[in-house]
Amino acid sequence: MQILNSLVPIFSVILLGVILRRRNFLNHETTQAFNRFAYFVALPVFLFYKIGTAPTGDGLANRYMITLLGATLVTVCLSCVVIHACKIDWNSRGTLIQAGFRGNLAFIGLPLVIFTTHDFPEAEQLKLESAVLIALPPVVIFYNIASVTALSIYSTSTEQLLSWRKVLFNISTNPLLIACLAGLVVQRTGLGIPTAFSRTCEVIGASAFSIALIGIGSQLASISVAGKWTESLTSSVIKNVACPIAGWIIGMSIGLSGTELLVILIMCATPTAVSSFILADQIGGDANQAASTVVVGTACSFATLSVLLMLPF
């Protein structure tokens, strides 16, 4: 029942986006508009409101941050070892390293956590959700720095490399990061959010995941996948299997168990983010390989997340 109630709704909406794009109900322009609204407006508003009104934690957010960052570092190292051992083409190496650790935390991980904890007692649900949200900012920062570093090292188009000044600018202006930090300020200072504004945030935030998931599906339908399935499957196994296993080991070692452990393992097991394809294309990585890993990883994640949700916690 957990799979039916938590996983199926998310992938059904992604599939809806694919169908709408294939039926020409959505096109490139509308998909871009969906993605921009979700990324720059709806999701930041949702994050700000949820974090700003979250209860004070008991250290769970710190343990979540340690687990997710630790699991991510493990997958970075594992990806580096695998691509060198398999003698992957130079220009594909950075792309595959990024695909092996950059999960779709915001657009797939968060709604899955919300659905999974929906039937929990309200106090426990709020504690788990807020801990995940508060743990996100340092992970978002690491994702951006590590992705640019990996893609730059293995890029054959040095004139396309992004300067570190631009990287830092992009991180500091990331709307999701700004929303998380603003929410933390409101939560820590106890300023509170006026009722009228909080209700406005609720209305806008309610649209965040539906629009984001439809946008993901539409974008997946438009990505041209050309070969390199073996490399993509290898990278997907690292992201969808090795990362949650590493998260399990780290989480258990710092005292996580039961539903607390399940929630962070869901975040570890999220598929490769669509944004990895966009970044690889911008920095001169292997765009076709990046597209393939996103599609294969998203498809494989349904199976791995299903197994995870069936495990006894």
Q: pLDDT for 186-227, tens place per residue? A: 988 888 888 999 999 999 988 999 999 999 999 888 876 666
Q: What is the pLDDT of residue 227?
A: 62
Could you tell me the pTM of the whole model?
A: 0.89
CB atoms within 10 A of CB 185: 13
Give the C-alpha separation, 142 to 271, whole Å: 17
pLDDT digits (tens, 9 = 90+) for 241-298: 999 999 999 999 999 999 999 999 999 999 998 888 777 777 777 878 888 899 899 9
Q: Which residues contact 274 (CB under 8 A, 6 or more apart)?
A: 104, 216, 219, 220, 294
* Alpha-carbon distances of 199 from 177, 204, 205, rounded to whole Å: 22, 9, 10
Q: What is the pLDDT of residue 281?
A: 73
Q: In total, how many domains does the chain have?
A: 1
Burial of 180 (0-12, 13-18, 19+ CB in 10 A): buried
Give the C-alpha separation, 299 to 225, whole Å: 13
Three-state DSSP class for 103? strand
Measuring CA to CA, which residue among 194, 213, 225 is closest to residue 287?
225
Distance of CA 87 to the CA centre of its chain: 28
pLDDT band at residue 159 under the 50/70/90 scheme:
very low
CB atoms within 10 A of CB 119: 11
- Average pLDDT (87-97) is 87
Q: What is the mean pLDDT of the chain?
A: 88
Give the C-alpha separation, 136 to 80, whole Å: 24
Confirm if 217 and 15 have CB atoms less than 8 A apart. yes
Q: Which residues contact 307 (CB under 8 A, 6 or more apart)?
A: none
pLDDT band at residue 118 under the 50/70/90 scheme:
confident
Give the C-alpha separation, 90 to 84, whole Å: 9
Q: Please report where in the chains the tokens 């700004």 appear, as a residue.
A: 178
Statement: residue 162 has pLDDT above 70: no
Question: In which domain, by residue range, is 271 found?
Answer: 2-310
Measuring CA to CA, which residue among 65, 260, 43, 280 is closest to residue 161?
280
Q: Which two tokens stand for residue 114?
A: 């919300």
**Residue 225's domain is classified under what CATH number?**
1.20.1530.20
Confirm if 310 and 3 have CB atoms less than 8 A apart. yes
